Amino acid sequence: MNRAMMMSAAKNLLTRYGSTKNNIYRCMSTGKLTTVDVNEKSGVAVLTMNRLPVNGLNLELLRDIRNDIDEIEGNKCRGLILTSASSSVFSAGLDIMEMYKPNQDRLKEFWTTLQDTWLALYGSSVPTAAAINGHSPAGGCLLATSCEYRVMLPKFTIGLNETKLGIVAPKWFMATFCNVLPRRVAEMALTQGKMFSSEEALKVGLVDELAQSKEEAIEKCQQFFATFAKTNPFARAMTKQQFRSKDLQQLEDEKAQDLEAFLFFVNQPSVQKGLGIYLDSLKAKTK
C-alpha cells in the first residue's frame, strides 16, 4: 500500500470513528476485552489486552484478539503492536479456570480458539511486535514470542513455565520459542520451566530491547517497523510466512490430534489435581 492509499484508508477510518486530540484514532475494536488504536501517521495498530487484573487468556479474550488480528490484516495496517492495559502484567497466560473442572464443549472451543489465534498471529502478513509492559508467563510468553520483535520493561519476568505446573507445552509453543532462542537455551529453559527476568531475557535474546516506559516500548516497536520502509510489503510478508511455514503447517496438519491430546491431558485426574493446587497457591498469595 503506498502513502496515498494509506492516507485514503486512514481518512475512511477517521470518517468511521473520528479523531482524538492526540491525532490517534480508534480504528476498530471488535470485542469488549481488547482495544485497537491505529496511529494515523504511521498506520500502526496498537492492540491492547484489557482483561484485568492479569489478562488471563480465556475464550472471550482469545476470540477478541483473533478477531482484532483479522481486522488489522484486513485494514492493511503497517504493523501490529501487542500490549496490555495493566501496568504490571502483560498476560498471565492461559486462564487456568478454563482448564480446571472444565465444561467439555467450552474446553474444546477454548483450545481451538487458541490454535487459531496463534496461527493468525504467528503467520500474520502484517509486521508484529510486543510491547511487554508486565509479567509474561506461559501463554503470555507464547503471544509475545509469536511476534517478530519484543521490547520489555525492566523488572518483570517472561518464560514458558509449564513444567512447573505439571503441564507439557505443546509442540507449537516450543517451535515458537525455538524461532527466537538458540535451540539449547530453549530446551534448557523449557525443561526447567524457567522464568527469565527482563534483563536475562535481553541477554539470551528472548527480548530484543528494554524500555523504561510503555510509551518508549511502543516507540521502539514502531522503529522496528520502520526498518521495513524500503522493503516490498508483499515480499516481506511472503518471506516471513515461508520462514515460519513448517511450524504453521505442522499445526494446520495436526490440529485435530493436538486438540485430542489437550483434552486427554487436561482431563487426567492428576492434572486436575495439580491445577487445583496451583490455583490455591496463587490465591493464597493474595490472602
Ligand X SMILES: CCCCCCCCC/C=C/C(=O)SCCNC(=O)CCNC(=O)[C@H](O)C(C)(C)COP(=O)(O)OP(=O)(O)OC[C@H]1O[C@@H](n2cnc3c(N)ncnc32)[C@H](O)[C@@H]1OP(=O)(O)O
Residues with active-site annotation: 94, 139, 161-162
Q: How far is the CB of 5 from ligand X (least distance, A)?
A: 39
Q: Which is nearer to ligand X, 169 or 211 (CB)?
A: 169
| Residue 92 binds ligand X (CB under 6 A) | yes
Q: In whole angstroms, what is the distance from residue 220 CA to residue 209 CA? A: 8
Q: How far is the CB of 30 from ligand X (least distance, A)?
A: 23
Q: Which is nearer to ligand X, 50 or 125 (CB)?
A: 50
Binding ligand X (rule: CB under 6 A), the pick from 45, 69, 80, 96 is: 96
| Residue 97 binds ligand X (CB under 6 A) | yes
Q: Which is nearer to ligand X, 27 or 89 (CB)?
A: 89
3-state secondary structure 72-117: HHHCCCCEEEEEECCCCECCCCECHHHCCCCCHHHHHHHHHHHHHH
The helix (H) or strand (E) run that includes residue 129 is strand 128-132
Task: Say what the alpha-carbon torsion angle 266, 269, 274, 279 is, to the nearest 10 degrees.
Answer: 70
Q: How far is the CB of 108 from ligand X (least distance, A)?
A: 13
The helix (H) or strand (E) run that includes residue 158 is strand 157-159
Q: Which is nearer to ligand X, 118 or 225 (CB)?
A: 118
Residues whose CB falls within 8 Å of the CB of residue 34, separated by 6 or more in sequence, listed in order: 47, 48, 49, 50, 61, 64, 65, 68
Q: Residue 112 has which C-alpha cell?
A: 481451538
User: CB count, 10 Å around CB of 223?
Assistant: 13
Site string for ligand X, 256-285 (x = CB under 6 A): -----xx--x----------------xx-x
Contact indicator for 205, 184 with CB cutoff of 8 Å: no
Q: How far is the CB of 58 from ligand X (least distance, A)?
A: 8
Instruction: Give the residue among 62, 211, 39 at the shortest CA–CA distance from 132.
Output: 211
Task: Say what the alpha-carbon torsion angle 63, 69, 75, 81 is, to the nearest 10 degrees.
Answer: 130
| Residue 94 binds ligand X (CB under 6 A) | yes
Residues 166-225 that bind ligand X (CB under 6 A): 167-170
Residues 26-65 that bind ligand X (CB under 6 A): 53-54, 56
Q: Which is nearer to ligand X, 50 or 241 (CB)?
A: 50
Binding site for ligand X (CB under 6 A): 53-54, 56, 88-89, 92-97, 135, 137-139, 161-162, 165, 167-170, 261-262, 265, 282-283, 285-286
